[in-house]
Amino acid sequence: MEINGGYAGDAERFADLFADSFAASEGPDEGALIGALVRDILARTDPSDLHCFTARDGEALIGAVCFTRLRYDDDPRRVFLLSPMAVAPAQQRKGVGQRLIRHALAELSAAGVEAVLTYGDPAYYGQVGFAPIAEAAITAPYPLSMPQGWLGQSLTSTPLGTIAGKPRCVAAFQRPEIW
């Protein structure tokens, strides 16, 4: 397996991986929603506010993850949101996602990102260092339908602690229905 930054200029294949992965696990409507979200992320997010990583087995795209900038009005730290994450259905439960996330977090840390937040399964993301966070300590951009899924980790030697201020996410995530 080879892990790289970017999506090699193949935005459609990249977005299709997310659509297929989410359709297989959550149903066709969720697959369509997440595929559209990824297309929107790629089309409207400033490159300085976006980091994408892919996992490939030869020519086959088997995993992908996006990180977008999350700004807090009263905190100067460079914070990114891990979302979404996808692994091809035939490649799931083989460690692809865990290796992809670990690689991405190391690259982000080297690039000066100080904290990463995500909204997902605590058991899955806990395996790569994410821990539950209280919304009182770090506010989510929109009300969360499952607050136990609000997770984060520091990419520095300083604990995550609180992040002050109102959060502002990239345009693609400014949709309450995806939170």
Residue 121's pLDDT band, with cuts at 50, 70 and 90, is: very high
Domains of the chain from N-terminus onward: 2-7+46-178 (3.40.630.30)
Q: What's the start-to-end Cα distance of the chain, in Å?
A: 32
Which tokens hold the place of 104? 């991405």
Residue 37, SS3 per DSSP = helix
pLDDT at residue 169 is higher than 80: yes
- Percentage helix, strand, coil for the chain under 3-state DSSP, each rounded to 5: 40, 30, 30
Q: 17: closest CA among 39, 2, 49, 1?
A: 39
Q: pTM higher than 0.85, yes or no? A: yes
Which tokens hold the place of 133? 């966070």
pLDDT at residue 9 is higher than 80: no
Find the largest Cα–Cα distance for the chain.
45
pLDDT (0 to 100) of residue 8: 72
pLDDT (0 to 100) of residue 177: 86
CA dihedral 99, 103, 105, 110 (to 10 degrees): 170
Q: Of the ranges 6-15, 47-56, 134-143, 148-157, which one carries the lowest mean pLDDT score?
A: 6-15
Q: Which tens digits make up the pLDDT trace of 64-100?
A: 999 999 999 999 999 999 999 999 999 999 999 999 9
Residue whose pair of structure tokens reads 């990419």 in the numeric block? 155
- Average pLDDT in the chain: 95
pLDDT (0 to 100) of residue 178: 86
